[in-house]
Structure 1
Amino acid sequence: MIPKLLSCAISSLKHMWLLYYELADFAKKAGLVFPPRETYDFSVMRDFPPTWITSDVWQALCTIWDTDTWRNISESGKRNRSSSVNGSISVHTGGSITTEQHRKKMAKGKDPLWGDIFKQTHLEKSEKVKLASGELIGSQPEYWVNEKSWTVFDKYEKAMCEKYSPDPSRHSLGDVEIWEHCVGGRK
């Protein structure tokens, strides 16, 4: 039950800012003073579940969200999502799964190339369908989530072709030295 609750908590927290207004209206109608949006006082919110979730599940979620541990995780995530590295905020299109999980999903009898994993997590969502079906041959800057992603990929592909072969099928899975150089050093 707890892993399912935690998964639900993470998913629901992403939509918290939308729920806040719905919950604030319920609380105000009940005569309560609802806290400012920045505070997220879950002890108040606990009594006002959204219409689409049962009261017991909502109260369990609020109990999780009302801990210092959860607040620390939330703040850390907020900082990470807005942090800038080399003048660019990190943008991924891989969803909530890790790069390693993407690698495992992409492995069909053999490990995927690092460049292909990078594409899976940095291409615009519409281009991933083409990538999966093998239709995406050349990669143009407009296919990527931001210019930095395109630049890193282009630099990496050129360096791999220079070191190994113009034919990507003859490349190693990945080259740490080339990768670190292309992304601007070890993070």
Structure 2
Amino acid sequence: MRLFDRFRTKYKWNPRAEQAIYDTFIDLIKDRFRDNMKTLRELSKQMAKEAHRELPDEGYDIGILREFPPKGIPLEKWHRMCAHWNTEKWQKKSIAGRANRKNDLCRHTGGSIRFDQHRINLDKEEGKTVGYKKVLLQTHATKRCKKMLQDGVISENDFASLEFVTDRAKRSYVAYSQQLKDLYGDVDCDDLDLWKSLHPKCKGRKMFGIGSSDPDFLVTGKKSSTICGSNDDARHSQELQKVQAELEREREARQNIEARFELFQQELEKERADQDEWRKNMEELVKNIGKK
């Protein structure tokens, strides 16, 4: 891949990490590519609206967008892109994606980090296994709410002041907190069965607040709720520590690559801007010569 070849001229790394870095680079390219394509469609949609064309509030009329290529996109390439977006397969994916983004199950503030990785990070920061309520706040509270919690303005039990990205998230958090207290008093503990009982409709599907993570580990901090002998417990604990350490290394490595990729992308954008400026100057120079 030529773009990766160019990237590797900017940075150096251990040859043994080559494949991992390449895989991360490709993942980032895929993520940015989707975002960039959406930006192009939105720019085209805005151009069409300014031309007083009728468009749906949600989604795209690709047949109309085809007539409005964004600045810098050759018409022939734009038509090929629109032909791809106009297929039944792509349209179905687009509709499904919009539906998922409206679904409470998919709305959270955890970013691209898996929920179980958030638990690992919080456990590491606190130096102990944190309660599931803290994980819920980290993944479903608003940015403003997290700031108030961090500054000590409010506490985890100030239910009226806590802010979440969805009403469902707040209802679940409050119900779980109150029922935990009713069952166990002020004892600091968690109960996966209780959380499951609050979301009976999630049976057989991804559970709310859990996603694709291991429910036992995410809620209780333990790899499995199955009762094991002491030897099994020790072995599982060691295995979990190894997995946590590996996930942490992968997270740090990915953050490092993302930072480098961001700089690399900024350099590419600057080069394109310089090339556009040079092209404009040359066109202006040719015009002036023609006038003489």
TM over 0.5: yes
Indicate yes or no: 2:102 matched with 1:91.
Answer: no
Structure 1 residue runs without a partner (length 5+): 42-67
Deviations 1:55-99 (A, max 9, x none): xxxxxxxxxxxxx9xx8xx77982772474xxx453101111010
CA contact (8 A) 2:176 2:195 kept: yes
Q: Give, in angstroms, the shift of residue 122 of structure 1.
A: 0.9
Indicate yes or no: 2:30 matched with 1:9.
Answer: yes
Letter aligned with residue 168 of structure 2: K
Q: Give, in angstroms, the shift of residue 180 of structure 1.
A: 0.6
Query: 1:15–1:178: structure 2 CA closer, same or farther, 3 Å change rule?
Result: farther
SS at match of 1:149: helix
Q: Residues of 1 paired with 2:96 and 2:166: CA distance? A: 20
Rg (Cα) greater in structure: 2
Q: 1:81 aligns to what?
A: 100
Indicate yes or no: 2:178 matched with 1:171.
Answer: no
Q: Residues of 2 paired with 1:96 and 1:31: CA distance? A: 31
Q: 1:149 aligns to what?
A: 169
Aligned pair count reads 149
Query: 1:76–1:18: structure 2 CA closer, same or farther, 3 Å change rule?
Result: closer
Q: Give, in angstroms, the shift of residue 141 of structure 1.
A: 6.6
CA contact (8 A) 2:141 2:162 kept: no
Q: 1:18 aligns to what?
A: 39
Structure 2 residue runs without a partner (length 5+): 1-21, 45-67, 206-292
Query: 1:144–1:180: structure 2 CA closer, same or farther, 3 Å change rule?
Result: same
Q: 1:57 aligns to what?
A: none
Q: 2:179 aligns to what?
A: 159
CA contact (8 A) 1:118 1:153 kept: yes
Q: Aligned to 2:85, which of 30, 39, 60?
A: 39
CA contact (8 A) 1:124 1:145 kept: yes
Report % sequence identity.
18
Select the structure that is richer in helix.
Answer: 2
Letter aligned with residue 173 of structure 2: F
TM-score by length of 2: 0.43
TM-score by length of 1: 0.64
Letter aligned with residue 143 of structure 2: K
Q: Aligned to 1:27, which of 51, 57, 74?
A: 74
Deviations 1:13-62 (A, max 9, x none): 2342113447933222x686344387179xxxxxxxxxxxxxxxxxxxxx
Q: What RMSD, in angstroms, separates the aligned Cα atoms of the two structures?
A: 3.4
Give 4+ residue runs of structure 1 displaced > 6 Å after superposition. Answer: 74-77
CA contact (8 A) 1:115 1:157 kept: yes
Q: Residues of 2 paired with 1:113 and 1:76: CA distance? A: 37
Indicate yes or no: 2:177 matched with 1:131.
Answer: no
